[in-house]
Structure 1
Amino acid sequence: MIEIGTFQNLKAVRATPHGMVLHNEEGDDVLLPNKYVPEGLQEGGEVEVFVYTDSEDWPIATTQRPFVQRDQYANLLVKEISALGAWMDMGLDKDLLVPFSEQDLRMDAGKYYPVYVYVDEETDRLVGSNRFRRFLSQDNLTVEEGQEVDLFILGFSDLGAKAAVNGLHEGLIFKSDIFRTLQPGERLKGFVKTVRPDGKLDLTLQPEGYAKVEPNAEKILAKLRSTANGFLALHDKSDPELIREQLEMSKKTFKKAIGGLYKEQLIELVDGGIRLK
């Protein structure tokens, strides 16, 4: 069976007035319309295509490159709202439908929203959703404390930023561990701070303990080197918000980092701040 919603290499087996018929290894076929047939593709050749369903729910192949495949997360633009839901630009001639029933909050045209793309079992259509908990599980966790992970920012709560962890689990970055602006739909690296008994994951953007001092020490050195006189008007008595604003780190991390830099004799502590040696 031709798989909907993925890239796959298929064999060209027959040219028709409407396009090239492609086969997979099992002999299942799908049409690649003429407007997508690459120049020079002959019967017997192979082509990488993305397969989705057309307006009549027939599988169709394209050489267009969508922004997202099935079972993946993406930040997509809503092009229009219809009676069915929100239609999002996924990089194909056919837009992605996010039905109203799959919207955590009602979407507006012209705005970007993070969504999960899946194949509806009844219709074989690609569908989007931002009711993320249906697709994330805290059972059989595949991560452990201290592990570096891939994060996709799902949204925000009163406690902090919610994120998909390696596309499999849900985690939370508490406000106290956020030292720069995060956006829904953003992808970034993070670390598992705590695995709770109930399977909930606390996340951080920096590794815990001494391991996080070194990269932050480098960040401080880079900041110092970028100034005209190698001086930074920050010190251990500075306002935490000022440190957060200028260096995107907590005051605690800043103090550890400058302590290490001072010990290595890379900086000197002067009135009003720190200076490169």
Structure 2
Amino acid sequence: MLNPGTIVSAKIIDHNEQADFAQVDGQTLQVISEEKYATDQEITGMVYENQQGQWCLQVKLPEAGLESYGTGEVVQIRRDLGVFVNVGLVDKDVVVSLDELPLMHTLWPQVGDQLTVNLSYDKKQRLWAHLATDEYFKEHARFSREFTRNETVSGRIYLTKKVGSFLKLDDQRLAFVHYTERQDEPHIGQAVSGRVIGLTQDGRLSISLKPLAYEEIADDAKMIMAVLQRAPEFHIDFQDKSDPSAIKEYFGISKGAFKRALGSLLKLGYITTDLNGTTLTAKGQGYHE
């Protein structure tokens, strides 16, 4: 008996309007291919049983196999069984068993998520998908020796534990999110974006999924922001070249303090300034203490 997921060579024995048929070890298989083949032609493909119980031989091999890993998209969720993944087999989705998934259903992959899986079959000739392990990712992705703080990165979660979430970034680097650096725990297969905050001992980028901590601004800068937010068109005629006495009379602070306040607001992106004065940016207009 042929085992699902195996790669075999077979000979074309018959045709009809819908498909070609091949035979191997006395078993007839429907050929899944966009091409048409001649009788007695030898072809190679993956054996599997489709949703209708027909045994098939698909010529275009999926990335995921009995000895290889590939990407599959989650297409269905069943709490009593697991998640169904489309690995590229026509009319056949393969299940990742609930035994491999977290106890909390909120951490299960969701429809549309991408998973890295390989395949196996059981004694009943059923095909199963299995999540790639951390060992697989350590071998096929890459660790880092250095990092750029606050670099924005994106990737997918492949493992979640109490201590945090493990992910592979889009550029193949490995990363880790400590449980204190996330507002909500992401689920397996979820695409996330965050910022780099460090490096773990084993060379994974340490990622935070939290927004940057609110940047406090000094009292002088807050006062200038309040003036700008009430000014017509969010604009004042003062800038860092303005007369010190005029600054002192209007704002009650020295020109040095005024320039420092403008500098901090410029750095935060809250204002623009030129010889005509100072104007709030859209970001500055949305500022609330």
| TM bin (shorter chain) | 0.3 to 0.5
Bigger radius of gyration among the two: 2
TM-score norm. by structure 2 comes to: 0.44
TM-score norm. by structure 1 comes to: 0.45
